[in-house]
Chains A and B, each alone.
Chain A
Amino acid sequence: MNRDAMKDMLLRMADDVLILAHRHSEWTGLGPLLEEDIAFSSIAQDKLGHAQALFSILHEHFEGAEPDAMAFGRTEQLMRCCHLVELPNGEYDFSLMRHFLFDAAEYVRWTALCESSFEPLAKLALKIRGELKYHLYHAQTWVIQLGAEGSEESKARMQTALRNVWPFALGIFEVRPGDADLVSDGVFPGEDVLRERWIAFVSNVFEKAKLEIPVDASAVLGGRDGYHTEHLGPLLDEMTEVYRQDPSAQW
């Protein structure tokens, strides 16, 4: 097994959910409905759990640091998240569209990982499948509700959000140098294959929601190499504030 490629894959998956969990948690107390506020916060907690599980695999099988040190002890340049998850929440339409496109990608990815030759990942995939199914169900129901079933304003807002989020969402599937080894070892099907499955899935939902995927958009890349948007730094400052004061703090 190409251990460096494996570490790279686990780290980028973990960082994506860690950062998106933080963004989702920023809706706590501010959601448009009480029920929706709770749903977003709860999904954020699930995502944080997935990040912790991935950091634990890195720790146990690949000499990674403790999960807390991995989550809170790294500088921006060492983070491997894609730009999609770093962007500020903006308005609810933007957050919701990001939530949908990201969770559709997660669902496709983890469904494939159920068959992974790397057993700890296959086991984790089976364990979190129900949560991911719910996250996607939540996002998808809202997208259809605000698209085809909503008002002219809600549909226009969702269409604008889709146009803005799409290039960043394509960036989830950035191909990495060691990926080919992982594909031939049966660890995962490869980013290109996942992206095709994802596009097929979201196209079907957008058809129901009467929203159109932008044409000629190109993926925003760079996060997997440690190049990030200007939004990640402030997020990390806030997220790691307690850890930097006292790495052993418990709460």
Chain B
Amino acid sequence: MATLISLDPRVTRLGIEQDPGSAPEPKAELDQFHTYEVFHQGKTGAHHVHVGVVHAPNAEMALLLAKEQYGRRGQTINLWVVNTRDVVTMESADSDIFTTTPEKTYRDVGAYMVRNKVEAYKKKQQEGNTNES
């Protein structure tokens, strides 16, 4: 059966058969670059936040290309890149491990009365400053 002709090189390279029921031919391994996950830091001391991916042959090139993709608009202080292969994750079917029974108020942060202590401390500090002046 004839292969679909498309201007999109991804479609042509995939060699998709005209019959939509047939499976696409598997691609040769590593005929494209790896992907690297990019983490962006906007301010000194801020967390690096995941923003997307770049294709690159190695980590150094990934960092270079990430600069332009994710660092050229808005403020950027630093970037991290991590090979997607090195990201360890869970099966989405296992997301139920995060659900928990609701009757455990003693585990909620609301049970801690930290705020009162913080405010008391701040007040004490302020009084201390006033006395000194």
Residues of A participating in the B interface, judged by any CB pair closer than 8 Å: 33-36, 38-39, 42, 134, 137-138, 141-142, 145, 149
Q: Which residues of B contact A36 (CB under 8 A)?
A: 65
Stretch at the interface among B17-25, B39-47, B54-62, B95-103: B54-62
Nearest Cβ on chain B to A222's Cβ, whole angstroms: 35
Closest 4 CB pairs of A and B: A35-B65, A39-B68, A141-B64, A35-B54
Closest partner residue, chain B, to A36 (CB atom) = B65
| Pick from A35, A134, A137, A141: contact of B69, CB under 8 Å | A35
Q: Mark B24-37, 1 if CB is under 8 A from A, else 0.
A: 00000000010000
Q: Contact at A134–B67, with CB atoms within 8 Å?
A: yes
Chain B residue nearest in CB terms to A141: B64
Measured CA separation A33–B62 after assembly (Å): 12
Q: B58, A149: Cβ atoms under 8 Å?
A: yes
Contact size class for B? 10 to 19
B72: CB under 8 A from chain A? yes
Instruction: List the A side residues contacting B61 at CB < 8 Å.
Output: 141-142, 145
Contacts of A38 in B (CB 8 A): 68-69
Give chain B residues whose Cβ lies under 8 Å from the Cβ of A138: 64, 67-68
When A and B form their complex, what is the total count of cross-chain residue pairs whose Cβ atoms lie within 8 Å? 33
Closest to B56 in A: A35
With known contacts A36-B65, A38-B68, A42-B72, A141–B60 Cβ distance under 8 A: yes
In terms of DSSP, what is the predominant structure of the interface of chain A? Answer: helix
Contact A33 B72, beta carbon cutoff 8 Å: no
- Tell me which residues from 40 to 95 in chain B have a Cβ below 8 Å from any Cβ of chain A: 54-58, 60-61, 64-65, 67-69, 72
B-chain residues with CB within 8 Å of residue A42 when the two chains form the complex: 68, 72
Tell me which residues across on chain B come within 8 A of A34, comparing CB atoms.
55
Residue of A nearest to B71 (CB): A134
16 A-B contacts (beta carbon < 8 Å): A33-B55, A34-B55, A35-B56, A35-B68, A35-B69, A38-B68, A38-B69, A39-B64, A39-B65, A42-B68, A134-B67, A141-B64, A142-B61, A142-B64, A145-B58, A149-B58
Which B residue sits closest to A33, measured CB to CB?
B55
- Cα distance, A34 to B55, chains bound together (Å): 9
User: Known contacts A35-B54, A141-B60, A141-B64; can you find 11 more A-B pairs with CB under 8 A?
Assistant: A33-B55, A33-B65, A35-B55, A35-B56, A36-B65, A39-B64, A39-B65, A42-B72, A142-B64, A145-B58, A149-B58
Question: Contact at A137–B64, with CB atoms within 8 Å?
Answer: yes
Complex formed: what's the CA distance from A34 to B10 in Å?
13
Q: Cβ of B67: which chain A residues have Cβ within 8 Å of it?
A: 134, 138
A35 to B64, CA, bound (A): 10
Query: Whole-angstrom distance from the CB of B73 to the nearest CB of chain A?
Result: 10
Q: Give the chain B neighbours of A35 by CB distance below 8 A.
A: 54-56, 65, 68-69
